[in-house]
Amino acid sequence: MKRALLITLLLTALLTGCMNSVRLNDRGVVEAVAVDRTEEGLYTAVLQLAGQTQDGDKPPASSELLQEGGGTLTDLFSRAAVKRGKSLFFGSCRLILIGEDAAREGVNEVLDFFNANHQITPAVTVAVVKDKAENLLMAQEKDPALTADRILDIIQNARQNGFAPESRLMDLVGAIHSDYSSGTLALVELSGETAAASSSEAQGGSSREDPSKAQETFLPNGEKTDTPDTKSDQKESGKPEIQLAGSAVFSGDRLVHLLNPQQTRGLAWVKGKIKNTALSVADENLGIVAAVTNRVKARVIPERMGDTLVFHIAVEVHSGAYETVLNTGDRMTAEQKRYAAALQARDIRREIESAIHATQGQGYDPLGLTQLVKQRLPEYYQEHASDWETVFTGCGYNVVVGCEIDRSGVDNKLL
Q: Are strands 27-37 and 87-89 parallel, antiparallel or unpaired?
A: parallel
What pLDDT does 55 receive?
A: 54
Cα 192 to Cα 396: distance, rounded to the nearest angstrom: 42
The string of DSSP letters for 77-124 reads HHHHHHHHTSEEE-TT--EEEEEHHHHHH--HHHHHHHHH-TTS-TT-
What pLDDT does 227 receive?
A: 40
pLDDT one digit per residue (tens) for the chain, 415 residues: 556 555 555 555 444 444 344 455 567 899 999 999 999 999 999 999 987 655 555 545 578 999 999 999 999 999 999 998 889 999 999 999 999 999 999 999 999 999 999 999 999 999 999 999 999 999 999 888 899 999 999 999 999 999 999 999 999 999 988 877 899 999 999 987 444 444 444 444 333 444 333 334 333 333 343 444 444 444 445 678 899 999 999 999 999 999 999 999 999 999 998 988 999 999 888 999 999 999 999 999 999 998 899 999 999 999 999 888 888 878 888 999 999 999 999 999 999 999 999 999 899 999 999 999 999 999 999 999 999 999 999 999 999 999 999 876 544 444 3
Instruction: Identify the three-state secondary structure at position 201.
Output: helix
What pLDDT does 51 receive?
A: 77
Identify the sign of the CA torsion 354, 360, 363, 368: positive
Q: Hey, how many other C-beta atoms are within 10 angstroms of the C-beta on 178? A: 14
> Helix crossing, 108-116 with 73-84: angle to 10°?
60
Judge whether 350 and 343 are in contact, CB under 8 Å. Answer: no
- How wide is the angle at C-alpha 366 spanned by C-alphas 362 and 369, nearest 5°? 90
* Domain definitions of the chain by residue range: 26-193+238-259, 261-414
CA–CA distances in Å: residue 350 to residues 131, 137, 393: 29, 35, 19
> Where does 261-414 sit in CATH, by number?
3.30.300.210
Judge whether 196 and 235 are in contact, CB under 8 Å. Answer: yes
Burial profile 63-100: b = 16 or more Cβ within 10 angstroms, e = fewer: bebbebebeebeebbeebbeebebebbbeebbbbbbbb
What pLDDT does 15 receive?
A: 47
Q: Hey, how many other C-beta atoms are within 10 angstroms of the C-beta on 26? A: 11
Residue 21 is classified by DSSP as: -
CA–CA distances in Å: residue 123 to residues 36, 111, 136, 239: 21, 12, 21, 32
What pLDDT does 52 receive?
A: 64
> Helix crossing, 334-358 with 261-271: angle to 10°?
110
What pLDDT does 130 receive?
A: 95
What pLDDT does 239 receive?
A: 77
Phi then psi for residue 282, to 5 deg, are -140, 145
What pLDDT does 56 receive?
A: 52
What pLDDT does 178 receive?
A: 82
